[in-house]
Structure 1
Amino acid sequence: MQTILVTGSNGLTGQKITENVIASGKFNLIATSKGKNRFPVQNGYQYEEMDILDKARITALVEKYRPDAIIHTAAMTNVDTAENNKQEADRLNVEAVKLLMDICNTYHIQLVHLSTDFIFDGEDGPYDEQAAANPLSYYGKTKLQAEELLKASGVKWAILRTILVYGIVKDMSRSNIVLWAKGALEKGSPLNVVNDQWRMPTLAEDLAEACLLAVEKKAQGIYNVSGKDMMSIAELVYRVADFWKLDKSQVQEVSSASLGQQASRPRRTGFILDKTIRELGYQPHSFEQGLELLNKQLG
């Protein structure tokens, strides 16, 4: 049985990987994150506190558990925060990857790394794995830099690029677009929603499954991992409203420019998923199926 070490296991994708491993029993899992374990089930895997910038600690855990693969989900993902804190973004999104690369090289470990659609400028999405990158934001630049480092590293690597991940876990420290839209619609708050950005939102369960498929199949190379449905952010909010039968009248469509956000966002991203479906056996949910799953989890 393969042993996997996961970074950022307290995050949304990290918790979904833990959930999947417990249910499938296919892997030995070492879940790692900063601080205490936030996953409600404590058995069926090991939890270790770990800072992704602490090389001595990571090395000690690798020595102890000898993982076959590391799935690296920890990162600074807030696009405006990265724009305002470039040094911290460099540390978390680039330095941490260098550190893991070195360790994976030394111990012959596969590194499955999560990247983003924000490495693209959004001028001609949806993109395949070979498309030329041109990030508009500092966040996108750090994620692209990490990809380039990995490609040149000599490590057994798989890069999984994803888009706008949504889902729910018991202890949500951060919201995501679906829960934000649902919460605001339920409160009857006015919502300003952009109608000039298009995405293919990704269910967290699908991303977790893709990470584990990449380990199982010892995948190497770049893989696109997202949902199948392309929609504008405004359409996404309308679809959330329709699903939960909420009032759409408080939704105000606005342009991206009117929001005055720190970082530029790509206009239309989206992914061509053929390679991931063919090589990994990836089968994403439709957006409505994803909402159905969230609804069950919300009870």
Structure 2
Amino acid sequence: MKVLITGSNGLLGQYLVQRLAGNPDYEVIATGRGPNRLRMRSGYAYESVNLADEAAVKGLVDRHKPDVIVHAGAMTQADDCERNKDACWMVNVTATRYLLQGAEKVGAYFLFISTDFVFDGLAGPYSEEDPVNPVNYYGASKVAAERIVKQSKAQWGIARTVLVYGLADDPRRSNIITWVKSNLEQKKKLKVVNDQWRTPTLVQDLAEGVKLMLDKKAEGIFHLSGKDMLTPFEMAYQVAGYLELDTKLLEKVDASTFKQPAPRPAKTGFVIDKAVQELGYAPHSFEEGLKIVVDQIRPK
């Protein structure tokens, strides 16, 4: 099976390439903007592509004729999207249309990666059937892209996920575990939000869920997240406790403490029963995921 992965320099893209490359059942073409930033260099081909360039995107798809396109490339920082709406729309919506048109032409299955931010956060956790109602521009761009996917003539699936965490190849990219670890080791106090709820997702689990979808060419929407509903403060407290760092340096605050351009939904999180039953999706608990990431951080 030939699989084209966009956003391969991102966290999910990195783990998806690792999961598939080197397996004789898959031929992997990874794409990202700029040079390849993955530590793993063998078992796949890499091409730099600007997703805003229609000719480049369609040329890429036409040249490789993949069986599956996993569209993980996106502008995902909500505040950046709020500040740069034109750029957000181009990357998250227009580029999706270009890729879909390519997928229709070559007969590829199209798997789109979406987000819990399509919901308003008033009634979480959410199932796949719940109505979308985004509260920020990032969420709105993903709703628009999902609509384009659903209207496509291509065979399609949508994988929504929540607050993905894990260790990136790029050491400059932090996650909640490394952020808490670094600050508390330096005895710095941390203000952490305690009035937002999520089902945080270990990136290895998300990559496995996406693989399950592409192997089955599963159609429709699937919610792929962790199974524990936690606030960021609760996550930080677990991290500090596991690493035996001073939990008294953590301060509970509400979201209004931080002045952010993009409003956040209060309570999202997912009901993952459909993915568990139809795909065999089996995510780790946050405690298990924490141990996995800490083991990756520790010097070998």
The interval holding the TM-score normalised by the smaller chain is over 0.9
* Aligned residue type for 1:285: H
- Per-residue CA shift, 1:100-121, capped at 9, x if unaligned? 1111111111111111101111
Paired residues for 1:102-121 under 5 Å: 102-121=101-120
Deviation at 1:27, TM superposition (A): 1.2
**Does structure 1 conserve the Cα–Cα contact (< 8 Å) formed by 2:67 and 2:108?**
yes
- Per-residue CA shift, 1:28-84, capped at 9, x if unaligned? 110111111111221111111111122222233323322101111111111111111
Deviation at 1:169, TM superposition (A): 2.4
- Per-residue CA shift, 1:246-279, capped at 9, x if unaligned? 1111111111112121111111111110111111
3-state SS of paired residue (2:21): helix
Instruction: Tell me the residue number matched to 1:176.
Output: 175
Instruction: Tell me the residue number matched to 2:226.
Output: 227
Deviation at 1:228, TM superposition (A): 0.7
Instruction: Tell me the residue number matched to 1:290.
Output: 289
Range that drifts further, 185-194 or 68-77 = 185-194
3-state SS of paired residue (1:43): coil
Q: Given the superposition, is the C-alpha separation of residues 108 and 114 from structure 1 closer, same or farther in structure 2, using an over 3 Å criterion?
A: same
3-state SS of paired residue (1:31): strand
Deviation at 1:211, TM superposition (A): 1.3
- Per-residue CA shift, 1:82-131, capped at 9, x if unaligned? 11111111111111111111111111111111111011111111110000
Instruction: Tell me the residue number matched to 1:30.
Output: 29
* Aligned residue type for 1:147: E
**Does structure 1 conserve the Cα–Cα contact (< 8 Å) formed by 2:22 and 2:43?**
no
Cα distance in structure 2, aligned partners of 1:266 and 1:225 = 18
3-state SS of paired residue (1:285): coil
Paired residues for 1:21-170 under 5 Å: 21-22=20-21, 24-170=23-169
Instruction: Tell me the residue number matched to 1:275.
Output: 274
1:258 and 2:261 are equivalent in the alignment: no
Q: TM-score, normalised by structure 2?
A: 0.96
* Aligned residue type for 2:2: T
Deviation at 1:214, TM superposition (A): 1.0
RMSD: 1.3
Cα distance in structure 2, aligned partners of 1:178 and 1:87 = 32
* Aligned residue type for 1:178: I
Cα distance in structure 2, aligned partners of 1:9 and 1:214 = 18
Cα distance in structure 2, aligned partners of 1:49 and 1:118 = 28
Q: Percent identity between the aligned chains?
A: 44
Deviation at 1:24, TM superposition (A): 4.4
* Aligned residue type for 1:75: A
Cα distance in structure 2, aligned partners of 1:262 and 1:181 = 23
Cα distance in structure 1, aligned partners of 2:115 and 2:245 = 31
Cα distance in structure 1, aligned partners of 2:177 and 2:145 = 28
Cα distance in structure 2, aligned partners of 1:109 and 1:22 = 19
Deviation at 1:170, TM superposition (A): 2.4
Instruction: Tell me the residue number matched to 2:5.
Output: 6
Range that drifts further, 159-168 or 246-255 = 246-255
Cα distance in structure 1, aligned partners of 2:31 and 2:42 = 14
Cα distance in structure 1, aligned partners of 2:58 and 2:171 = 29
Deviation at 1:11, TM superposition (A): 0.8
* Aligned residue type for 1:269: T
Deviation at 1:231, TM superposition (A): 0.6
Deviation at 1:283, TM superposition (A): 1.0
* Aligned residue type for 1:126: P
3-state SS of paired residue (1:223): strand
**Does structure 1 conserve the Cα–Cα contact (< 8 Å) formed by 2:82 and 2:136?**
yes
Range that drifts further, 32-41 or 269-278 = 32-41
